[in-house]
Structure 1
Amino acid sequence: MIRFNNARGCFLGLLLILWLAVNAAVRTVLLVMAHGSLQDSFDWLTVTGIYFRGAVNDLFPYFLLTLPLMLVLLLKKRLWGGRTGRIVASATFWVYACAFLFGAVAEPLFWNEFSSRFNFIAVDYLIYTTEVMRNIAESYPVIPLLAAVAASAAIVSLLALRPFWKRAALPAPRSPRLLAVCFVMTCAAFLYSPLAPQDRVTRELSANGVWSLFSAYRNNELDYREFYRVIDDSRAAALLRENLTEEGTRFVSDDAGEWRREVRASRPEWKPNVIQIVVESLGSDLLGENTPNLNALAGQSLQLTRLMATGTRTVRGIEALTLSLPPTPGSSIVRRPGCEGLFSVGTVFREKGYDTAFIYGGYGYFDNMNAFFAGNGFRIVDRSDIPRENVTFTNAWGVCDEDLFHAALRDADESFRQKRPFYQFVLTTSNHRPFTYPDGKVSIPSGTGRRGAVAYTDYAIGEFLREAASRPWFADTVFVISGDHTSSAAGHTDLPPERYHIPALIYCPGRIAPAEVDTLCSQADIPPTLFDLFGWSYRSGFFGRSALRMKPDEGRAWISTYQILGRLTPDSLTTLAPVEQSGVFGWTFPDRVGSALKGEQAEVLTQRTEADYQSAHDLFKNGRLKENAVLR
């Protein structure tokens, strides 16, 4: 009979085999789920490469996960002694098996939602446990899943350890070779850089989920100057001024580093109330048979038909819509230290005498939203301010959209009573997993998926506008409806532009004529577009421009993930990535990215992109985006 003379090494080896097997199984499931995105490059060589790189990528995170166990095995002289020792060892194996199998269940669920391995979104989920745990509990059969994981881990542990206990030498001696191997591999794990192909989908499939989570936590905020290509400051300033130059504006000074402008009105001043409805995960692709109210509204509104979201998170949408800035890498400014006292859309409204409010159906501490809005002069109306008698339905993210809109109506009524014009930033939640909403409102049952959630949000918006039409302030109120981001920004490339296309409707019957503006533009352009419509003159620290003043060939938009930064023009996509990487590609709205561009044109496009992102980073970091710095 074969005897395991080094039981310590064998115990770790069994865990390693289980780890590799579980990750291979996960990779297989994800490969099936991602097959549609791999159709253009799917072949056996690609699949073999995915599994080979994946096995290598799985190896080093294993040593990090088992480091505490290694220390015990290396330091303790006697192991497995007696019944108690074997129970402790078996329980340890079972706990690791549970963790491995739990990850195997969680990763496909996360991929189904975000088409990605664990990333910075998963990091946020670990931070905001209250909402996330409720969301998970309402979205999935948690208890049966956990029970299945525990039972499966017990079966795996029994099958793996039964022959081990029969053959392991007792007591298990410490091995210098095991000590050396563990030391070397642990050091290597901390220096490890994953093997990663260029294609986004195959890169994600080859990745290890645990390492991806660790990496996202470590890189959640990136210093632009440390990770991206930097151009000369004077060149960046000159290009930024070129990018911001437009008819009807002049720079505050001739200083080469001056980006602030005096915006001159092109029409008589008008001071309407403004209700800006930002719909969770509303991409242009979701408009259709389930959105009859928005479809009808589009024909009565000024539409920005080629508007692009700046990012893939709600906080990115908030950042663009309030600060009118490109998305700097890492976390949104909404969640960073120093996010208070900034020049924002609220600054301009308050200078005109407006009451400004952030209205949200959930608890606004999530994603630091309350701190951001309050720190920038907004009143906060969130879940804690909505009386219980006015709540008809809640889920993990807050009250349903109807209850949210009723809160907005009450707040508008009060502002009107006080004879103050008002600006509301209203953020919805119903179009978010678990996709639950009140029964009987739409034909699609609650909790069955995004189609139903979108239909319900459309229903709630329709009811809201019908109720608003009965208010005395309605005729002098502009309604702005847009998405914060799309429901999925994942694609075959790192920045698929078609996955950032969101709707934007500006509605005020009798005052704003229905029209379509087909110029390529950004979420960050909505504030200056509104102020242009209102005939307002003001000092601007925005990077955004009025879509009504841009010529078609001047159109541009910023799109991003938390690491990859992009700038679109009508015929190109320029990308910046760590470490000092860049690329320029052909692009035609709204199709996929084409072939790479080279030469002088590509260099100019790259430098313009760098000027936008580098300048936004530097201005924020140096405090020059503060309200008092812009206005002085």
Structure 2
Amino acid sequence: MRNLFKQNVVYTNLAIFYLIVSFLTRLVLLFHPITQSKFSIVEISKIFGLGLISDFLIFILIGVILWLYLIFLSNSKFKKPYGYIILGVFVALLLYIISGKSILSEYGGVLPEIGIAFVGFKTIFFAAILFTDKYRKSIRLALFSLTIFLFVLLIIQNAVSEFFFWNEFGVRYNFIAVDYLVYTNAVIGNIMESYPVVPLFASVGILAFAATFIIIKKSKSYLEDLPNFPSKLKIIVVQLLLLGSALLILPSIASQQNSSNVFANELQSNGLQKFYKAFTNSELDFFEFYESLPQEELAQFDTIIGVNYNQNSTSITSNGKEIKKNVVLITVESLSEEFMKHYGNHNNITPFLDQLAEESLFFTNLYATGNRTVRGLEAVTLCLPPTPGESVVKRKDNKNKFTTGSVFQSKGYSTKFLYGGDAYFDNMQDFFGGNGYDIVDKSSLNPNEITFSNIWGVCDEDMAKKAIQVMNDEAKTGKPFFNHWMTVSNHRPFTYPEGKISISGTAKSREGGVMYTDYALKQFFEMAKKQAWFKNTVFVIIADHCASSSGKTELPMDKYRIPAFIYAPGFIQPQKVDKLVSQIDIMPTVLGILNFKYKSKFFGKNVLKTNYIPRAFIATYQDLGYIKDGVLTIISPQKKVKQFDLIQQKNETLGTNYSIIYEEKPKTKIDVKLRKETIAIYQTASHILKTKKYEK
């Protein structure tokens, strides 16, 4: 074993460097001014003793990448004919990606460019080493040095990031760090404005160069005497044993973070392990990071919230007879209000939806709760305000909830979730299947039913035809049905069948994606109108979220405004509802139209009732917003509260129902009533989820 590590001196030296940096990071965080705590001898021993073991085990896990790189360093692969064969494979792979027909191109974005850059880099330097015996050692040393530099840079950069994260939150990485990774542009902008970036990055670069120089100097012998094949086999065996041991021991080490002193637990832990845990758990504890109210003070908000903090249910009654019509809910991918003619778009990319809006109960002032599909699905299914972290859809505790589906099931309906992609994506299959929905996704279609597909699934037309087939089969059973269809075509890479609309699918444009989805919805309704069940069906069309969420403020309201319609010719009279409405209100409104009587846990309201009080919720993973009375209140981690006066901006080209664009002007004095109301609502939602009181 000792000889193996001596032979693989590169791995050993990088491991030592990582452990030193981790130790120094712990030491700095221990004496940081924010660490206002005293530690016992036992706690100090665990912080540095168990912390060291934890760091070593984490390095074993992340070091797998380094092991693989070192294992594939070889002289024999440059010998004839192997070198030419390998080079041919690289060239073929590069040409395949450049051709635009690879899976990277199908997805779109910057992935093709990244693939071309990476494979092109490998191809050029492999050829350089293959054809230049004289400079082979120098080229290999340069590439080797670059690889080690990247590892060193990431280790130092992680330590610096941990310092700044601790400086802001007083903890190791949590879901906020995951949030920062998602909102990279906003985070980089914040760093640029908050810190002396040039000196900071320059210092990190100098440290990385210096550390790389020392490690290369001590490790250069590895290149001069690369392990032979039998030695590499032994190294692989040792690597697998270490990997298995690390996976087995780490949970036990983590369980020792059991001090009553939170700082002691955080310092003992490893930041990368905490980041991984946050990424997989997808939650952020409201009661740890947000301002909260005493429980006795929450009772005054029961009427506003609609549910009690501890006994969260209320009776929904109606004077009319229950109407058992079929309900089809269509959530449209990334349908911002700005795409529609009603809201000022003159490109005519949603002609069908613009027409449908005039024939429907049209909500002109409605806001999505978030900016991800899973947030939209959560809003229309759970009718619950967004809580910190990921959507409930992606959490482990996401089953047997009180949902729109469970209300329909209690009334004798069959319930289905239809999705043109693979339902396992974004945990949709687990969520909807775990809440009693039957799943109809891409795997349910026969090959002859698929005319076009991309990385996200079959085109919306194909799914529309499948939906009609499913609903025809359901109608034959004599039971009413509730079907929820999530579209996919208005999503990068924005590809769709040719010849359907005026914008070619090869253009891969957002406008084309919107226009094709509009076209597919038109085909769906034309087919639906020919079916016997059409006249007995209520259709709900609503966006899952907007196409973009970036703006000048934490929660730019225009990036959350979405269209929504309830369409049932002969049953629901066309009408424009210009009240402020939340995405979570749509399905309780539909249930109200049907005169359903049920015990509700929904936070969403029937907006057609005379006692409805206009308000809406918008949020990111950590900033939770509440819109009411012309004020946007935002609560954030570190118990921060901000408020903005919403000053309406005039738009002469649009009607008053559609031109609700606001300047968000920071309030100089916080409205205490709205602050408490915001906290009470989000605190109650977080509490009932945490205590499992949102079960059906």
Task: Please report the TM-score for the alignment, with normalisation by the length of structure 1.
Answer: 0.69
What is the match of residue 544 of structure 1?
604
What is the match of residue 673 of structure 2?
604
1:277 and 2:325 aligned? no
1:486-505 correspondence runs (5 A): 486-505=546-565
The correspondence for 2:693, drawn from 624, 629, 632, is: 624
Describe the shift of the 1:142–1:482 C-alpha distance in structure 2 as closer, same or farther (beyond 3 A): same
The correspondence for 2:529, drawn from 453, 469, 484, is: 469
- CA drift of 1:576 comes to 1.2
d(CA) in 1 for partners of 2:689, 2:469 = 36
What is the match of residue 188 of structure 2?
204
What is the match of residue 519 of structure 1?
579
1:146 and 2:118 aligned? yes
d(CA) in 1 for partners of 2:502, 2:545 = 25
- CA drift of 1:626 comes to 0.4
Describe the shift of the 1:216–1:309 C-alpha distance in structure 2 as closer, same or farther (beyond 3 A): farther
The SS at the match of 2:532 is coil
- CA drift of 1:298 comes to 0.5
1:193 and 2:164 aligned? yes
- Cα shift readout 1:508-532 (whole Å, capped 9, x = no counterpart): 1111000011111111101110011
1:359-438 correspondence runs (5 A): 359-438=418-497
d(CA) in 1 for partners of 2:581, 2:603 = 12
CA contact (8 A) 1:363 1:383 kept: yes
CA contact (8 A) 2:312 2:693 kept: no
The SS at the match of 1:305 is strand
**Gap runs ≥5 in structure 1:** 1-7, 13-63, 73-82, 85-129, 173-177, 246-250, 628-632
- CA drift of 1:268 comes to 3.7
Describe the shift of the 1:537–1:569 C-alpha distance in structure 2 as closer, same or farther (beyond 3 A): same
d(CA) in 2 for partners of 1:156, 1:565 = 54
- CA drift of 1:165 comes to 6.5
The SS at the match of 1:329 is coil
What is the match of residue 266 of structure 2?
none
What is the match of residue 135 of structure 1?
107
- CA drift of 1:482 comes to 0.7
CA contact (8 A) 2:310 2:688 kept: no
Letter in 2 for 1:189: V
CA contact (8 A) 1:358 1:378 kept: yes
What is the match of residue 227 of structure 1?
289
The correspondence for 2:305, drawn from 241, 244, 262, is: 244
1:258 and 2:318 aligned? no
d(CA) in 2 for partners of 1:184, 1:415 = 57
d(CA) in 2 for partners of 1:308, 1:135 = 29
d(CA) in 1 for partners of 2:138, 2:623 = 50
Deviates most, 258-267 or 325-334: 258-267
CA contact (8 A) 2:365 2:581 kept: yes
The SS at the match of 2:559 is helix
The correspondence for 1:591, drawn from 653, 656, 661, is: 661
d(CA) in 1 for partners of 2:369, 2:331 = 14
After superposition, the CA RMSD in angstroms is 4.5
- CA drift of 1:286 comes to 1.4
Describe the shift of the 1:580–1:473 C-alpha distance in structure 2 as closer, same or farther (beyond 3 A): same
Describe the shift of the 1:139–1:506 C-alpha distance in structure 2 as closer, same or farther (beyond 3 A): farther
- Cα shift readout 1:491-515 (whole Å, capped 9, x = no counterpart): 1111101100011011011110000
- Cα shift readout 1:181-211 (whole Å, capped 9, x = no counterpart): 9999689436421699x999664334799x9
The SS at the match of 1:463 is helix
d(CA) in 1 for partners of 2:558, 2:113 = 34
d(CA) in 1 for partners of 2:662, 2:274 = 31
CA contact (8 A) 1:318 1:484 kept: yes
The SS at the match of 2:632 is strand
What is the match of residue 555 of structure 1?
614
What is the match of residue 591 of structure 2?
531
The correspondence for 1:303, drawn from 359, 362, 365, is: 362
d(CA) in 1 for partners of 2:494, 2:668 = 45
Describe the shift of the 1:588–1:153 C-alpha distance in structure 2 as closer, same or farther (beyond 3 A): farther
- Cα shift readout 1:138-170 (whole Å, capped 9, x = no counterpart): 97466534344546889999xxxx9x979x9xx
- Cα shift readout 1:563-592 (whole Å, capped 9, x = no counterpart): 111111140111111121110111146334
d(CA) in 1 for partners of 2:154, 2:588 = 58
d(CA) in 2 for partners of 1:586, 1:313 = 26
Letter in 1 for 2:644: F
The correspondence for 1:286, drawn from 339, 346, 349, is: 339
- Cα shift readout 1:397-427 (whole Å, capped 9, x = no counterpart): 1111011111111111111101110000000
d(CA) in 2 for partners of 1:149, 1:213 = 32
- CA drift of 1:606 comes to 1.4
What is the match of residue 615 of structure 1?
684
CA contact (8 A) 1:362 1:383 kept: yes
CA contact (8 A) 1:353 1:421 kept: yes
- CA drift of 1:350 comes to 1.1
Percent identity between matched residues is 36
Task: Please report the TM-score for the alignment, with normalisation by the length of structure 2.
Answer: 0.63
The SS at the match of 2:116 is helix
Deviant stretches of 4+, over 6 Å: 130-133, 151-157, 181-184, 198-202, 211-217
CA contact (8 A) 2:309 2:684 kept: no
CA contact (8 A) 1:519 1:550 kept: no
**Gap runs ≥5 in structure 2:** 1-9, 15-58, 68-74, 77-101, 130-134, 169-179, 202-270, 342-347, 649-659
The SS at the match of 1:403 is helix
CA contact (8 A) 1:328 1:613 kept: yes
CA contact (8 A) 2:104 2:112 kept: no
d(CA) in 2 for partners of 1:306, 1:132 = 38
What is the match of residue 16 of structure 1?
none
d(CA) in 2 for partners of 1:187, 1:501 = 37
The SS at the match of 2:665 is coil
- CA drift of 1:131 comes to 9.3
Letter in 2 for 1:238: Q
d(CA) in 1 for partners of 2:283, 2:595 = 38
What is the match of residue 324 of structure 1?
383
Aligned residue pairs total: 498
The correspondence for 1:344, drawn from 403, 414, 425, is: 403
Letter in 2 for 1:226: E
CA contact (8 A) 1:573 1:593 kept: no
The SS at the match of 1:567 is strand
CA contact (8 A) 1:236 1:614 kept: no
Describe the shift of the 1:501–1:530 C-alpha distance in structure 2 as closer, same or farther (beyond 3 A): same
Describe the shift of the 1:600–1:483 C-alpha distance in structure 2 as closer, same or farther (beyond 3 A): closer
- CA drift of 1:300 comes to 0.2
